[in-house]
Amino acid sequence: MRAAAADGPVSEHDYVIVGAGSAGAALAARLSEDGTASVLLLEAGGSDRSPWIRVPIGYGLTFNDPRYNWMYESEPDPALDGRRSFVPRGKVLGGSSAINAMVYVRGHAGDFDDWAAAGNPGWSWQDVLPYFRRCEDSELGPSALHGRGGPLHVADVSADVHPLCATFLDACRTTGARLTDDFNDGVLEGAGLWQVTIRDGRRVSSASAYLHPARRRANLEVRTHALATRVVLEGGEARAVEYLAGGERRVARARREVVLAAGAINSPQLLQLSGIGEPALLAAHGIPVAHALPAVGAGLQDHLAVSYFYRSRVPTLNDRLAPLWGKVWAGLRYLATRRGPLAMSVNQAGAFLKTRPELARPNMHVYFNPISYTASTGPRRRLLNPDPFPAFLMSFNTCRPTSRGSVAIRSADPREAPAIRTGYLSTPGDVADVQEGARLLRSLAAAPPLAAVIEREYLPGPSVQGEADVLADFRARAGSVYHASCTCAMGPDPARAVVDARLRVHGVGRLRVVDASVFPSVTSGNTNAATIMVAEKAADLMKSR
């Protein structure tokens, strides 16, 4: 095995963590909180001090800025007419929690029971609930379900959402859906308003919640603009991380453990660059095999959604944010009160619903946004430049897709983006869900409360009706909801998993992975809350090693 390079500075720490994102920032704060263990946190991106990160709706800008986002794209996917998908990943302190839409959804209790049933003891709903509670400063807490006083503020913004959200909820109710004021009770099913990671009109990321308060500690060091290039193995154990900073190669040695928290794209990439992965892939790029582990980078899961757009007979957020005077009004209101459209996510209401009564859990995730963008979609979407007419959108994705993709290095150069193969719609069940989701959205639009305010469906439009046309439209327009996960999956079998139930890499000592890549299967909703929960649990696992 290759020894650590000696052409640059060498430092030594108890723990070396790669990635200061949703999981890494939280883990570094927890491992350093007793003051005894020295922790080095390496982040390839830079500071999160930009005002556009702090202002909630500012993610419409940072989401498209390579200073804060890796701006990855997938390989062309045959299921999407050969289109590439945008795969944003945070490249900044706080990682993707610094550029996401701030929706806080844990997932269904059954998601975590499934993890445990797959051979991962300690990961059932009852096992992970204390860690969800520990991280939270929830406006619904304290209770048996929610925490109060934790690092991560979770807000109830029901007083500030657009009035059309109430219309959407009425439509859901009239179609038989229950209304809920808490998607995070483990039941998940119902229609309601999203809880969000916003406090006093400012985004709450993993960095602002965990890392910034912890940076005063003498035993925690954070290095930004530090690109990890490989994990150094000695005697079958992880002993150091090589990284590039300031134009030179440096080495950080770990007395206890190395932890990869670089996310679902970069954690498998770094393992492969370190000689841990599928031997044929490593050999193709001239990387000596340090440890054969074929599941590294395999099993990628994500949520794939499509939006339906509706012209409205009543005002929407378009009327406020499209004209120049509306932007000025919103800006002045935010500066004066930290309220209004700029203090919110455009994702304001939604639902988790069953399309068939015999289902045990909701199978569709529905978003309702009182705003629309048809001229600027995908990575070019601009939240402050919506359509210049009153309109809104609804979107759907299947909660638990069964399709799988992969992440694989293209070369031995750590600066080259890996090949991301999404593998969308590669199972019959995922294809069938396209039809069920489309019928669900149209049934909501036809319900009297929404039908009364809809002028017309203008995309995909009334001409798209038959199953073939619905599927063709989905293939032409659907895109990722940016919930990449499962590429270093947890499980007992090294032939099919990368880490064990304690998040230790199979067959390699002193090396763990702690981020969304360890999910055995993607959760039913948004992934940021579950990723932070994984970090909270990992801290306990590491402290009790």
Distance CA 191, CA 182 (A): 9
The predicted model gives 362-376 an average pLDDT of 90
User: Residue 398: beta bridge partners?
Assistant: 364
Confidence band of 545 (pLDDT split at 50, 70, 90):
low
* Average pLDDT score, the chain: 95
For residue 483, CA distances in Å to 101, 322, 457, 470 come to 12, 29, 28, 24
* Cis geometry, peptide bond prior to residue 341 (ω within 30 degrees of 0): no
Q: Could you tell me if 309 and 458 are in contact, meaning their C-beta atoms sit under 8 angstroms apart?
A: yes
Q: Of 353, 302, 305, which is closest to residue 523 (Cα–Cα)?
A: 302
Distance CA 352, CA 49 (A): 35
Cα-trace Rg, the chain? 23
> What tens digit of pLDDT does each residue of 324-359 get?
999 999 999 999 999 999 999 999 999 999 999 999
Q: Token digits for 456?
A: 């017309």
Q: Token digits for 236?
A: 């079958």
Q: Which residue has the tokens 């044929």?
A: 280
52 exposure class (CB count in 10 Å sphere: 0-12, 13-18, 19+): middle
Question: How much is the pLDDT for 243?
Answer: 98
Q: Which residue has the higher pLDDT, 63 or 473?
A: 473
Q: Could you tell me if 32 and 53 are in contact, meaning their C-beta atoms sit under 8 angstroms apart?
A: no
In this prediction the pTM is: 0.96
Distance CA 131, CA 530 (A): 10
Q: Token digits for 277?
A: 């992965």
Catalytic residue among 146, 291, 365, 483: 483
Residue 144 contacts by C-beta under 8 Å, 6 or more apart in sequence? none
Run of H or E including 458: strand 454-459
* SS3 (DSSP) at 239: strand
Active site annotation includes 483: yes
**Segment among 55-59, 78-82, 110-114, 352-356 with least mean pLDDT:** 55-59
Judged against a pLDDT cut of 60, whether residue 463 lies above it is answered with yes
* SS3 (DSSP) at 56: helix
The predicted model gives 380-398 an average pLDDT of 86
Q: Which residue has the higher pLDDT, 462 or 544?
A: 462
What are the boundaries of each domain within the chain? 10-543
Topology (CATH level 3) of domain 10-543:
FAD/NAD(P)-binding domain (3.50.50)
Distance CA 6, CA 425 (A): 47
Distance CA 114, CA 463 (A): 40
Q: Of 425, 407, 428, which is closest to residue 416 (Cα–Cα)?
A: 407
Question: How much is the pLDDT for 6?
Answer: 47
Question: How much is the pLDDT for 336?
Answer: 95
Judged against a pLDDT cut of 60, whether residue 376 lies above it is answered with no
